[in-house]
Structure 1
Amino acid sequence: MRFQDNKNSAFKGWATERKELKNSGKIRPNGSKITFSPSDIVRFFESEFASYMDHFEKVASEEKKKELGVHRDPFDPLLDLIRNMGNQHEEDIIQKMEQSTAVFRIEKENRKEAIQQTLLALKEGENNIYQAAIKNDKIFGYADLLVKEKGHSELGDYYYVPYDFKIARHPKPTALIQLCCYCDILQSIQGVLPPYFVVVTKDRKSHFFKTVSFFYFYQLLKNNFLHYHSCFSKDRIPIPDKRAEHRDWSIFARKRQHILDDISLVAGLRSSHCAILRRAGINKISELPYLKKDHSTIKGIPKITLEVLKNQAKMQLASVGKDTPEFKVLSHSGERQGLEMLPPANPFDVFFDMEGYPLLGSEGLEYLYGNAINEDPKYICFWATKEEEEVLAFKKWLKWVYDRWQKTPGLHIYHYGHYEPSTIKKLMGKYGAGEEEIDTLLRNKVFVDLHRVITQGLRVGTFSYSLKEVEQLYYGKRDTCVKSGGQAAFYFFNFLNASNKKEGSAFLEQIKSYNRDDCFSTKKLCAFLWDLQKKEGIKYISSITKDQETEYRRSDIKESCQERAQVLLNLVPVQKRTWPLSQMKGEEHLYIAALLAHLLEFHIREDKPGWWDYFSRLDMNEEEMLEDKNTITLCRWVASQHIPIVGENSEFKGPSARRKTPKSYEKVIPEGYKIQFEKEQEVGFKEGDKLIVLENTDNIRDTYTVWRLHLIEGLIYLKPNGENKLPKNKPFTLVPEKNDFYKKNLFRSLLKTAYYFSPEAPYFGLKKCIYDLLLKKAPDLN
Structure 2
Amino acid sequence: MRYIEHEARIVWSASDLKAAAECEFAWLRAIDAKIGRIDAVPDPEDATLERAAALGTAHELRVLDEYRHRLGGAVREIPAARSSDVAALAEAVRLTDAALADPSAEVVYQAAFATEEFVGFADFLVREPDAGDGRPRPWVVQDTKLARRARVTALMQLAAYVDQLDRLGVPRSDEVQLLLGDGGISTHRVDDLMPVFALRRARLRALIADRRVDSGTAGAVVPWGDPRGDLAVLACGRCPTCEIEVVAHRDLLLVAGMRPVQRDRLRAGGIDTIDALAAAPAAPEGMSADTFVSLRTQARLQLESPAGDGAAGEHVVPTYEVVAPASLGVLPRPDHGDLFFDFEGDPLYTEGKREHWGIDYLFGWVDTRERYGALWAHSFDEERAALERFLDMVAVRREQFPAMHIYHYAPYEPTHLLTMAARYGVGEADVDRLLRDGVFVDLYPVVRRALRVGSRSYSIKKLEPLYMGDEVRTSDVQRGDDSIVQYVEARALAADGDVEAAQRVLDDLADYNRYDCVSTRRLRDWL
Range class of TM-score, shorter chain? 0.7 to 0.9
5 Å-filtered alignment, 1:213-292, equals 213-232=192-211, 233-239=219-225, 244=236, 250-291=239-280
Q: Evaluate the alpha carbon distance shift between residue 237 and residue 465 of structure 1 in structure 2; reply closer, same or farther with a 3 A threshold.
A: same
Partner of 1:560 in structure 2?
A: none
Give the match's secondary structure for 2:449: helix
CA distance in 1, matches of 2:306, 2:492: 44
CA distance in 1, matches of 2:6, 2:413: 53
Matches within 5 A, 1:532-571: none
Pick from 59, 79, 101: which aligns with 1:89? 59
Measured after TM superposition, the shift of residue 103 of structure 1 is 1.4
Per the alignment, residue 337 of structure 2 pairs with: 348
Partner of 1:305: 291
Q: Counterpart amino acid of 1:494?
A: E
After superposition, what is the alpha-carbon deviation per residue over 1:603-622, rounded to whole angstroms, capped at 9, x for unaligned?
xxxxxxxxxxxxxxxxxxxx
Shift of 1:192: 6.0
Match of residue 18 from structure 2: 42
Distance 2:4 2:428 in 1: 63
Partner of 1:166: 145
Instruction: Give, in angstroms, the shift of residue 238 of structure 1.
Output: 3.3
Q: Is the 8 A contact 2:28 2:222 kept in 1?
A: no
- Shift in Å at residue 203 of structure 1? 2.0
Aligned residues between the structures: 484
Show CA shifts across 1:351-371 (max 9, x none). Answer: 111122111232421211111
| Aligned partners of 1:338 and 1:455 also within 8 Å | no
Asked whether the 8 Å contact 1:357–1:366 carries over to 2, the reply is: yes
- For the 8 Å contact 1:28–1:230, the answer to whether it is kept is no
Determine the structure 2 residue equivalent to 1:118: 96
Gaps of at least 5 residues in structure 2 are 82-87, 212-218, 227-232, 309-315, 351-355
Distance 1:193 1:472, change over 3 A: farther
1:442 aligns with 2:435: yes
Q: 2:302 aligns with which of 316, 319, 325?
A: 316
After superposition, the Cα gap between the structure-2 partners of 1:219 and 1:424, relative to the gap in structure 1 and judged at 3 Å, is same
Match of 2:28 in 1: 52
Map 1:494-513 to 2 at 5 A.
494-498=489-493, 499-500=496-497, 501-513=499-511
TM-score (norm 2): 0.84
TM-score, normalised relative to structure 1: 0.58
> Cα–Cα, structure 1 residues 50 and 508, in superposed 2: closer, same or farther, change >3 Å?
farther
Measure the CA separation in 1 of the matches of 2:453 and 2:99.
Answer: 62
Alignment partner of 1:394 out of 387, 404, 424: 387
Distance 1:114 1:503, change over 3 A: farther
Shift of residue 283, structure 1, vs aligned partner: 2.4
* Aligned twin of 1:368: 362
CA gap of 1:435–1:165, structure 2 versus 1, over 3 A, is closer
Q: Secondary structure at the match of 2:11?
A: coil
Percentage identity across aligned positions?
29
CA offset digits 1:218-244 (Å, max 9, x no partner): 211111112212222553243599983
CA distance in 2, matches of 1:496, 1:329: 44
Q: CA separation in 2, counterparts of 1:181 and 1:244?
A: 24
From the CA coordinates, give the structure whose radius of gyration is larger.
Answer: 1
Q: CA deviation at 1:395?
A: 1.0
1:403 CA drift (Å): 1.4
Q: Distance between the aligned counterparts of 1:194 and 1:286, measured in 2?
A: 56
The CA RMSD measured in Å over matched residues stands at 2.8
The whole-number CA distance in structure 2 between the counterparts of 1:407 and 1:263 is 50
Question: Aligned ranges for residues 382-781 of structure 1 at < 5 Å?
Answer: 382-475=375-468, 476-498=471-493, 499-500=496-497, 501-529=499-527
User: Counterpart in 2 of 1:137?
Assistant: 116
Pairwise CA distance, 1:386: 0.5
1:626 matched to which residue of 2? none
Deviation at residue 394 of structure 1 after TM alignment: 0.7
Please list the CA deviations of residues 750-776 of structure 1 after superposition, one character each: whole Å capped at 9, or x if unmatched.
xxxxxxxxxxxxxxxxxxxxxxxxxxx
Contact 2:307 2:454 in 1 (8 A): no
Q: Where do 4+ consecutive residues of structure 1 move more than 4 Å? A: 27-31, 191-194, 239-243
Q: Structure 1 residues 297 and 274 mapped into 2: Cα distance closer, same or farther (>3 Å)?
A: closer
Judged with a 3 Å threshold, the aligned counterparts in structure 2 of structure 1 residues 505 and 307 are, in CA distance, closer, same or farther, namely same
**Consecutive unaligned residues in structure 1, runs of 5 or more:** 1-26, 530-782
CA distance in 1, matches of 2:195, 2:18: 15
Structure 1 equivalent of residue 353 of structure 2: none
Q: Distance in 2 between matches of 1:410 and 1:87?
A: 50
Amino acid at match of 2:293: E
Instruction: Tell me by how many angstroms 1:483 deviates.
Output: 2.2
C-alpha displacement of 1:216: 1.4
Establish whether residue 105 from structure 1 lines up as the match of residue 49 from structure 2. no
SS at match of 1:220: helix
Shift of 1:508: 2.2
Change (3 A) 1:245 1:527: same
1:218 & 1:494 partners in 2: Cα distance? 41
How far, CA to CA, are the matches of 1:325 and 1:202 in structure 2?
43
Residue 329 of structure 1: aligned partner: 322
Amino acid at match of 2:236: A
- Tell me, in whole angstroms, the C-alpha distance in 2 between the residues paired with 1:242 and 1:358: 30
Q: Which structure has more helix as a fraction of its residues?
A: 2
How many angstroms does 1:434 deviate by?
2.5
Question: Letter of the aligned partner of 2:474 in structure 1?
Answer: D
CA deviation digits over 1:154-211, x for unaligned, max 9?
xx82432210011111111221111111112222122666522110111222111011
Q: Distance in 2 between matches of 1:130 and 1:485?
A: 37
1:146 maps to 125
Quote how far apart the aligned CAs of 1:515 are.
Answer: 1.6
